[in-house]
Structure 1
Amino acid sequence: MLSLLAKFKPQRLLSQGNLSKYAISQTDFSNEVNPQKSEFFPIPEKDETEKDKLFSRLEIEVKSADPAVLKSYSWFATNAAEHLGIEIGNCWAQRKANHDRLTLLKSVHIYKKHRVQYEIRTYYRYMTFHKLTESTLDTFLEYIQRNLPEGVGMKCTKVEIQELPDHLKEPPKQAQSQI
C-alpha cells in the first residue's frame, strides 16, 4: 500500500490562483501488474470479429409480498431502460394476489378443534423489453439485479434471434424441379 501511495506526488496548482489546493499527478505504472489480467479474476478476451448476439425480447417476472415495492421497482427498471435506449413493452400486474394458506393445530398434542390459519400473499409483476443487444442486455440486467430490493424475487427469460440453419435456407433440389 505504501509503494502505491509513494507513486502519487502532490503538486500545487499555481495557475488557478488558489495556493491552498493540491493536485495529484500520477507517475508511470508500467512495472505494476496489469489490472485487466488477473490470475484470480480472469477476464475473457473477445475477438473483434465476434458479433454481439441479438435478443428480440426480455421478459422479467418479479414477485414479492408487498405490491407497493413491486410497483416502485417496475418504475425503476423501466426508467433505467429508457436511459439505456431500450424499447419498453408491456408492464402489468395480476389483479389478485396468490394466496397460500396453511392450517395448523394450536396445541401440538391435544385439542384438535382449536386451529390456527396462516396466509401468505404473493404479488407478481411482469415487464417486457424488446430489441436488445447482448452487451446492453448484460449491462441492464446487472444494474437492475444489483438494485433488487429485499424480499423480491426475479425471473428473467431471454429470447435470442438466431440465423436459420443452412438446410432450411434453400428448399431441396427435388422440390424445385417439380414446381
Structure 2
Amino acid sequence: MLARTVFNQIFLFKPSQIPISALSLNYRSITTAARLKKQLKIPSTPRPHIERPAGSDELYKRLCVEVRGHDPAVLESYERFVRLVSTELDIQPVNIENPLFFTERWTLLRSKFAKKKYWREYEIRTYYKKFHFKHLTGSTADTFLEYVQRNLPEGIMMIVERIRLEPFRDNLVSPSSSSSSTTTSDNNSEQQENS
C-alpha cells in the first residue's frame, strides 16, 4: 500500500509540483494521489468539450442488446416482441444471435445433516439472445430501448451496448492530409535545391 502511494506521488505529477515534505515517508499519513492534488491545489484538467450544432442528434454506429434468461420459451416470445417493435420503428435488425446456453452444475448433499452417500446434482442453464442493430439516431435508439426495457419479462436480464460516433477534435489531422502535405513540402524543397 505504501509503495503504491509513493508511486502515485512520484509518477503522477511533475517533479516541480511535489514538495519535499510530501515525499517524506510518514507511516501514519498515507497520501493518495487525489488527496495530494487537493493539498497542492493542482487544478484538474477537464476533458475537451466538442460542441455540436444546435438541433443535431447523436449517431450510433452499433447498438447491441443482449438478453439472458433461464427459460428458452420466454426468450423466443421476447424475440418476437423485439422484432415487432423494430418493424414499427422502421429499424432493421442486422443480426440475431442464439449463442449456446451456459450450464452451471453443483453436486451437493441432499441435506446438510445427511450421510455422505446421498448426493444430488443441480443444474442451472442460462440461455442468451443477442440483437444487433446498425446506424441509429439517438432519438430512435432511446425510443426503441424505452419500449424494449419497459416490457422486459420477469427473470430476464438485459445488457445494452451502444457505440456512438463522435467528430474528430480540431487538433487531430487525418493521415491522408498530413502525408500529402509532407510530400508537397518535399517536392518544393527538391525544386529549390535544383534551381
| Structural mapping, 1:29-48, within 5 Å | none
Superposition RMSD in Å: 2.1
Asked if 1:177 is matched to 2:174, the reply is no
Mind listing any 5+ residue stretches in structure 2 that lack a counterpart?
1-51, 188-195
Listed one character per residue, the Cα deviations across residues 58-114 of structure 1 (whole Å, up to 9, x for unaligned) are: 1011111111111111111121111111122111212x4211011112232452222
1:138 aligns with: 142
More helix by share: 2
Q: For residue 68 of structure 1, what is the amino acid of its counterpart?
A: A
Aligned equivalents of 1:71, 1:171: Cα separation in 2: 52
Q: Among 156, 161, 173, which residue is 2:160 paired with?
A: 156
Question: What is the CA distance between 1:175 and its match in structure 2?
Answer: 5.8
Equivalences, count: 132
SS in 1 for 2:173: helix
TM-score by length of 2: 0.61
Runs of 4+ in 1 over 6 A off after TM superposition: none
2:75 aligns with: 70
Mind listing any 5+ residue stretches in structure 1 that lack a counterpart?
1-46
Aligned equivalents of 1:176, 1:160: Cα separation in 2: 35
1:99 aligns with: 103
TM-score by length of 1: 0.66
Give me the identity figure in percent: 39
More strand by share: 1
Q: Among 77, 86, 90, which residue is 1:85 paired with?
A: 90
Identify if the C-alpha distance between structure 1 residues 114 and 48 changes in structure 2 by more than 3 Å, giving closer, same or farther: same
Q: For residue 116 of structure 2, what is the amino acid of its counterpart?
A: K
